Each structure stands twice: as C-alpha cells, then as structure tokens.
Amino acid sequence: MNRLVQIPTNSRNLVRDYVTAVNGILKLTDREIEVIAAFIRYDKQNAATPSARKYVAEELEMKSVAVLNNFVKALKDKGVILPIPDEKNRYTYHPIIKEITDDVTIQIRFART
C-alpha cells in the first residue's frame, strides 16, 4: 500500500519541517531540530564550521557559542553531524538530511526482521 502525505511549508520553514518529518529516525529534541535546521540553512554541505556556529548561536539567541557546542556534541553523538573522513575538524550531515530541496520526497519502507 502506498500513501502520499504532503506537508505544507514555505522556504523559511522547509528544512525544519523536513527534519521534523524524519525525526522518528533521528530522535532529536525540538531544540536540536532548530539547531540542525539553522546549520543547514547556513551551509548545506559543511556542518558546524566556526562561522556557522557563530551564525547559529546568534540566530537562535544563545548566550554564547559555548552553549551551542553542547548541542553540536549531542548532534554528533546521535550521528546527525558526521566527521568527513580524512579531514580533521570538518563535518557533514547524515545522508537523510543532506540536499533538502523544495521537491524532496521521503519514502519509508518497513522491513520485518
């Protein structure tokens, strides 16, 4: 059985709405969703760069980048932010949240184990 569910959104909320839709897989808190969405809006390829951290901390009105770093650690621990192999201190995003576009479609298939 196939079901198509369309989620109304706009360009400002697209990333947040997409991450929320796949959050059953990622298991993020509401604040972690806000943080990862802000990182993706800033840079769709490279996660948690120093300039991105400054931008996200300011956009989400955090007291400092140090506060944001707690969320970055949680996102790394959950596998949402991943190290780029052979590149020290460079990170990317989990494949399920890379390259989010206006026409993205998610297909979920449950497999019995």
Q: Which domains does the chain possess? A: 14-97 (1.10.10.10)
**Residue 83 φ then ψ, to 5°:** -70, 145
Band (pLDDT 50/70/90 cuts) for residue 26 is very high
**Crossing angle of helices 30-42/65-77, nearest 10°?**
100
Q: Is the pLDDT of residue 105 over 90?
A: no
Distance CA(41)–CA(8), nearest Å, equals: 18
**Residue 82 φ then ψ, to 5°:** -120, 145
Cα-Cα-Cα-Cα torsion 32, 15, 108, 111, nearest 10 degrees, comes to -30
pLDDT averaged over the chain? 91
57-94 tens-digit pLDDT? 999 999 999 999 999 999 999 999 999 999 888 999 99
Band (pLDDT 50/70/90 cuts) for residue 29 is very high
Token pair in block for residue 61: 């009105």
pLDDT for res 75: 97
